[in-house]
Amino acid sequence: MIQSLHHQPLLVVLRAEQPALLAPQLGQLADLGVRHVEIAWGPSPAWIPECRRLIEAFPELCLGSASICTPAALAASLEAGFSYGVSPVLDAELLETAAMARFALVPGVMTPTEVNRARSLGCPIVKLFPAASVGIGHWRRLRDPLGPPLPFCIAAGGLQPGDVRPWLEAGVDAVALGSSLVAQGPEPLRLVLEALQQRP
């Protein structure tokens, strides 16, 4: 996952009570060239079979599950067949269960203590969440006090398409976009992807 994010450091997070309704958006994202998409977990009995069908329908996308906060959500993600999952929280027991299942679970962090704890637990990737609340310079300010190496960092939560490049330049490794994309349509995202292709 880290290697592919180096090539395109952008993720998109989608939410719907019925994941099947996300198919048109997934098709549009695939056509634009997006490769990493997360589908938020939900308690609906249809979530697992509908997600399984989306994974089969879009093999060109690297689909993961999002909002994994409980054992039930993790179990559902495994049963649906996702290749990875992302959590807004740092939960050692969830990480241990995921590791036993050989499932890549990315924990959410915000504070220096959480980042250091994730590092001590062997997490190669973390999600800085909610990124908009801590500000664009937060991750870089952690480097000297915590010391290298810091985990690969995905900034997520409250960010807009126009934030992608500035946040990457400020030191995070990847950026996740969510609900901000729905109202703006595909054009801002297309421009972001074009700009990312021009990065050295």
Relative orientation angle of helices 47-57 and 71-80, to the nearest 10 degrees: 40
pLDDT at 182: 64
Amino acid at 66: A
Q: What is the DSSP letter of 121?
A: T
Q: For the chain, give the percent of residues with pLDDT over 90.
A: 84
pLDDT at 7: 83
Strands (E), 15-164: 36-40, 62-66, 84-86, 104-106, 108-109, 125-128, 152-155
State the pTM of this model: 0.95
On whether the CB atoms of residues 177 and 162 are closer than 8 A, the answer is no
pLDDT at 181: 75
Low-confidence ranges of the chain (pLDDT < 50): none
pLDDT at 18: 95
pLDDT at 183: 66
pLDDT digits 0-9 by tens, 52-72: 999 999 999 999 999 999 999
Residue 148 structure tokens: 């290298």
On whether the CB atoms of residues 105 and 86 are closer than 8 A, the answer is yes
The angle subtended at Cα 18 by Cα 12 and Cα 24, nearest 5°, is 55
Q: What is the mean pLDDT of the chain?
A: 94
pLDDT at 74: 98
Neighbours of 181 (CB within 10 A): 21
The angle subtended at Cα 140 by Cα 134 and Cα 144, nearest 5°, is 120
pLDDT at 1: 75
d(CA 57, CA 90): 31
Strands (E), 79-132: 84-86, 104-106, 108-109, 125-128
